[in-house]
Structure 1
């Protein structure tokens, strides 16, 4: 039991001491430069300063002791060895193999996966080159100008985020569009902006049965036919990313235009696979290779670095520190870059779908907190929205500040202001502003309480050298591994999502009723809502 481990008990007692410690005093009492040097780490070109946390070297030693006692390193090695760490679905979770260096050997269920991965990557390269240089053309010979990726969850969020983050590298010839919501608004608005003869559609679904994806795919297919594209010409406008050849063929897509991936690729870890075809089309295969290389560099760091120098281990264990010992209910992701504005949304799925669990791997209930709520937006917008809560609210909410030192597109003086605001927010959250600070400035006593900020709010600052594909790849892989570390501590399966499946199952009979079919048993509230919707 996790809570019976010696390190857990030691951390419980240590936390009582640290609750009354103020970070501003930790910096003031010791050599601040030495604290920063001790509590900073480099990995895969990224720099992490985690000195603005409610920690001492003793805290970090105890956290890493907990990781050792809980078997985190053994769990990591099992994942990298291709063992069936997804225990409920009896699958490996081998997304690291998708970005492996040539010659590295990864096996799933004892079978090498490298040759199959290389073959799909080669097909992605050839196909993307053909679309980008105009060799691949629509049914009437016109070059493709627009690409629509139809997916949901991991088949949408990861590629959408990466394309946005690296949009400064996008082909000037191709416009990328993403459709996920089944409400029809998103798809209708996109179809109004594109022309059938010059549009390519990627239907991205592992099973090719996902309700939202297939509804949008069929509506798009109908749109092509209604706009004069002959059925035989659809093959020049549709490709599939899937594992289900029969369903792809039944939809009308030539299996020759299907890009395969495998059951050991989880949806939220899939942007590195054929699911990333939209990324390759947008930024080109060379840049996509750099994205993979950045993720691979972080993989090697995670696999080899000592725990106290291991960036994913550090971030993961800091998350455990606040979630389980300070009972922090949420964590804020604040990327100070408009290009990274979708990164918090990607992390929401990555972390909450992975670790939002209430049973251990053996099926017994957990007796401790698991995933916090993950939220956030791009800075500096967030400063004018929810930062008031961070500074003067009553909750303890750790913040991850993420900022590139160089911006891909900027105007004179703009990026310096971004950096200044990012660094200032971390300083303000840590230092705060006491009543003594305020009254010393001559502020009227009755106003002083309104100006006070309690401070002592923890944050990490993660610096990217620039928004290069390598840096973005390393960033995403870092948070993948951080999520894994926390799941390993909590002894939960970070690779299934059975809660999501329940809602899908219940939606089917309700849809049947809304369409005039037979009634099914429901609770009184759901039954009343169905009656009202039917009129």
Structure 2
């Protein structure tokens, strides 16, 4: 692997950016920037496949962008990107490639046909889509329950909800991830076993939360009179033997180079395919592939994921922004903030670089959000008048899928106006109605919310996260921080039944005694 390990803080550009922030960046004012440059909005807007981005209301200028591009060059971003698309082990701690891009590449697309994995990817996709069409045509199946967690839940759930306009009539989709039995119990109460298909999504078929829910679902199915496990359960897993032992005969696998949070393009996307159909699922892949090609081939200065990733590094490390808020102005995108939380914070929430050295820079910000206009009546108060600035990302869809008159102009007007208000502010000598303004935002526009546009937007975000991670010198494809709590939970669970607290710290022991079983 020729991928260089050059951290941002070890470059000349990093020092230049620090000087730039101290001399010009600290006093930067958006209102003055627009007054001085009539072409700012056009110059700082980008059109990528299916996604338009207005980045002009951000706290940067041509000098900032030039230094960030210099930083990208000195860090070896292009080489790292090329290593990703060459199938090199960019996930160094696990010795794996990260080829989620191959899952959405056409069979004869650039680089895909040369990969030895391509034929198996296409065969699995065809088998999965054929099964999806079979189930969609089976009118006895009215409910599909996806049981998974993390990447096996957040991505598919977000996409199915986002593409509700395209969901097959008569099919209802449920997602269970929490080991808290209240979630599964609430879903099961509304189901009939003869009309339900369960999808068990676990690469190893050993994920603790998923398997606890799967066993409970199986028990409910059998106790409710179901006698055809093979016909009403399918598995998205590589552990075919364990699935067969469970009673499942229909399985679809994927590969160790597919990270969980990048897996909705694989067999983990079966609930999406069941919801929107094979043709639409292929359009979903095509939109993502178009963004892959944009990221892979477009010059960095006009490359949307690259520009966003560089902006993230600028904000996190030079402007002091510790969080970023996501505000999708489309009700169907209500699970997008949760999905993006995992994608970015699990990928880049790291404290060491790819060589294991402690980071000297800040990595992932905190992501949070809520669909507009709900957020306007909740947390936007803090964004406008709070003591800390928070970059906000608006996501607007130009064409509505509904026919209700008057709603879409109101929705879009609110999104545009909020971005304007954050920037221009409003002075008030009394203070209580003073809006300081100069608060940054980005504005994304999709023409319609379709499988293709959603696929492109998600791929854009994946590559954005890759970019900022590469600049910081970290591995965006492992997630060791998820493991420790799971290991400790296996020790604590039996203690809740026995009351044994030997060897525990005082606080943990007290909680075990308070929450454990009492005879």
Match of 1:366 in 2: 359
Structure 2 distance, partners of 1:493, 1:520, is: 38
Give the whole-Å Cα distance in 1 for the aligned partners of 2:496 and 2:120. Answer: 44
| Equivalent residues, number | 510
CA contact (8 A) 1:132 1:173 kept: no
Q: Deviation digits for residues 52-77 of structure 1, max 9, x if unmatched?
A: 01111111111111111111111111
C-alpha deviation, 1:519, in angstroms: 4.8
Is residue 2:24 matched to residue 1:20? no
Asked whether the equivalents of residues 324 and 392 of structure 2 are also in contact (C-alpha less than 8 Å), the reply is yes
Q: Which residue of 1 aligns with 2:156?
A: 159
Partner of 1:397: 390
Say if 2:329 is the partner of 1:332. Answer: no
Scaled by the length of structure 2, what TM-score is found? Answer: 0.96
Q: Deviations over 1:425-483 (max 9, x none)?
A: 11111111124xxxxxxxxx5xx311111111111100001001110000100100000
Q: Establish whether residue 148 from structure 1 lines up as the match of residue 153 from structure 2.
A: no
Q: Structure 1 residue 250: deviation in Å?
A: 2.1
Q: CA deviation at 1:105?
A: 5.9
Q: How does 1:113-512 map to 2 (within 5 A)?
A: 113-134=117-138, 143-230=140-227, 233-254=228-249, 257-435=250-428, 445=429, 448-512=430-494
CA distance in 1, matches of 2:143, 2:502: 43
Unaligned runs of 5+ in 2: 1-6
| TM superposition score normalised by structure 1 | 0.93
Aligned alpha-carbon RMSD (Å): 1.4
What residue number does 1:438 align with? none
Aligned to 2:252, the other structure's residue is in SS state strand
- 1:131 Cα shift? 0.7
What is the distance in 1 between the residues matched to 2:371 and 2:342?
Answer: 17
Cα distance in 2 for partners of 1:492, 1:70 equals 12
Distance 1:519 1:433 in 2: 59
Q: Distance in 2 between matches of 1:520 and 1:28?
A: 68
Q: Deviations over 1:396-424 (max 9, x none)?
A: 21111111101112410101011100011
Q: Is the 8 A contact 2:499 2:513 kept in 1?
A: no
Query: What's the counterpart of residue 2 of structure 1?
Result: 8
8 Å contact from structure 1 (residues 147, 176) kept in 2: yes
Cα shift readout 1:235-262 (whole Å, capped 9, x = no counterpart): 00000001112221222212xx100101
* 8 Å CA contact 1:5, 1:69 repeated in 2: yes
Alignment counterpart, residue 30 of structure 1, candidates 37, 60, 65: 37
SS of 2:487's equivalent in the other structure is helix
Is 1:97 aligned with 2:79? no
1:275 Cα deviation after fit: 0.2
**1:138 equivalent in structure 2:** none
Contact 2:501 2:509 in 1 (8 A): no
CA displacement 1:112-170 (0-9 Å, x = unmatched): 11111111111111111111111xxxxxxx72111000000000000000000000110
Q: Assess, with a 3 A threshold, how the Cα gap between structure 1 residues 127 and 53 changes in structure 2: closer, same or farther.
A: same
The answer to whether the 8 Å contact 1:105/1:114 transfers is: no
Is residue 35 of structure 2 the alignment partner of residue 42 of structure 1?
A: no
